[in-house]
Structures are given as structure tokens and as C-alpha cells.
Amino acid sequence: MGLNAIKLYGMCDGVLDSSNICGAPPPGCALSPVSVDGVRRFLDFAYKHRVFVLLSNRDFRGNVDAFAHMARTYGAHPAVAGAILYDESLDMPNFNAAAKALHEGFAQALGKDPATTPVESVGRIITTAAHGQVLQADFQEKYGEFVNVWGWDPYARLDERYDGHHGRKPTMITENGINGGYPGGCRDDCSTWDCTPCEKFASPWKSYMKWLETSHTAGFFTFEWTSENWKGSWDACKETRSRSDGNFDEGNYGMFQIDDSDNLIAKSIGGGDTFESVFSQYGNRGPVHGGFRGWL
């Protein structure tokens, strides 16, 4: 379908746990705690299938050391495209130190001298997943020394004012929804009045993919690949469509859904189309306006 990258919004590996939302799996879950080796196996799988990964860390205590560990431990892996500084909730007092830790860690992991390697030449993306503050020139001046790409989660349809022309560095959309860029979830099995059928998203989704063909953004991530029904406070051990009522807020934001037998199902938007098929028409056209693309 032309997809070549995924982003994380936090990581666990036994070292990063205190600065993310980690912990032992709930009782009854057939899961094991994440380890450094487990992350490396995940990256090996991504590399095998030619998918880039943007690592990430949250804004909890110890995050500067966590970013240093992340870059040092995983930065040389060929599947790692780079890292995201926080997930919307930015730790401004530690932002520059965390960005510097990524720059130094990535440079060292790739055999480069951080003191003589500009951030644009470090070989890995150092970005954000922020809100509109990244569009402000004074923000970019104050916090951009060790950032080489600005990333933001607009959750809105954009226009030429915000279409990649708001800074000296590339800008990419690090989250936007399946509702034509706006937030909103849908289901294919609606049986109640408060459930939104996915067919309602057909027109805005197609329009949004069309807009991306000429957008000056350097990259785009949709939120999200698979509906996470566990966000509706039901069974956190299993992602299933166990109830047919409601949208569970973020629980049904996915391009795909998981059925009760753990099968991956592309959500239909009517007329023989799915979110996946429409995305494929956009994704397989190749890069425009110098956007990030391909396997480097």
C-alpha cells in the first residue's frame, strides 16, 4: 500500500520503562515484559519488510538519559529512521538537553563525531510530535538546534499557510486522523445511534489523500494502523470488537480492525473501497516536493 514507516509514541525495554507508560502486563494477559532484545527483534522484523521506525520517549522523569540510551542502543539499526522528542506533551525544561542527547547518541552510534557533525548530517531524523507551537519562528529558534525535522499532530485539514512553508527545516505530519485529517473513529458493525459508520469517512478520506499528493509536507503518519479497542477501558489484554455500541473515543481510529479471532480486517468505506485501498493509491505514487521516501 506504499506505507514505509511507522512511529511510536513511547517505548518499553526494561531501561526506558520509568520514562514511559510501562509495567507488568495485567493479570491474565499472555504477554511478557518488553526487553532490549525484544525491541531489536521488532526492528529486525521491520527491516526485513522494509519499514522505517521512528522511536519515541515520553516526558516523564529521567527522559534525557532515556533518549541517550535509545540513540546509543538502537541508533545504528538500519530500520531506525530516527526518534521523536516526546508525544505532544513536551518537556520544555529538558527539551534541548534531550535533543542534544539524541544528536550525540545517533552520531556516536553511526561512527561520527558529534562535535563536528551538524544535526542535518547526523544520519537520523530528530523530530517532534507536537502541536501548533512548532510552527512559531521563536519556538524553532529556541528549540531547534538539535532538531532536523519538525513534526506535528494538527488533526485538521491544512491550507497553504501551514503547508510546509513555516520554517527553515522540513515539516511532517506525525499524526492525523482517518476522518479527512480530523479526529474521529468509526466501525463497520454499527447497531446503535452513537456509532459512526466508516462509510461517513469515505469522502473526507479520499479528499485528504488527494490533498497529500500536492502537499509540501516531508512525510505523513495516519492515526492509526489498527483500532485499539482496549482504549475503551475494556479488556486491555486483547484487541477485539467485543461490543458494537459507541466509538470508544480513540479506540476505533484505525484503518484496520481486529476481529474476535485476531484477524486483521480492512475497514470498508463503501463502493468497494477501504481506507487501505485509498491510501494505496496515494502511497504508491512516490514522493512529491522532496518528501522522505524509499529505503535509504
**Structure confidence by residue, pLDDT tens digits, 88-120:** 899 999 999 999 999 999 999 999 999 999 999
DSSP state of 197: B
Alpha-carbon torsion angle 201, 207, 212, 213, nearest 10:
140
Q: Which residue from 94, 154, 144, 140 is spatially nearest to 118, judged by alpha carbons?
A: 144
Q: Which residue from 2, 8, 109, 121 is spatially nearest to 50, judged by alpha carbons?
A: 2
Per-residue confidence at 288, pLDDT binned at 50, 70, 90? low
Q: Which residue from 129, 126, 131, 128 is spatially nearest to 146, judged by alpha carbons?
A: 126
pLDDT of 238-258, one tens digit each? Answer: 766 555 555 556 788 999 988
pTM of the model: 0.90
Q: Check whether 163 has a pLDDT greater than 70.
A: no
Task: Report the alpha-carbon angle 199-201-202, nearest 5.
Answer: 70
Q: Check whether 185 has a pLDDT greater than 50.
A: yes
pLDDT of residue 233: 63
Q: Which residue has the higher pLDDT, 233 or 187?
A: 187
Across the chain, the runs of DSSP E, i.e. the strands, are 5-7, 52-57, 80-85, 125-128, 150-152, 171-173, 256-258, 264-266, 268-270, 273-274
Q: Check whether 173 has a pLDDT greater than 60.
A: yes
Mean pLDDT of 189-205: 87
pLDDT of residue 243: 52
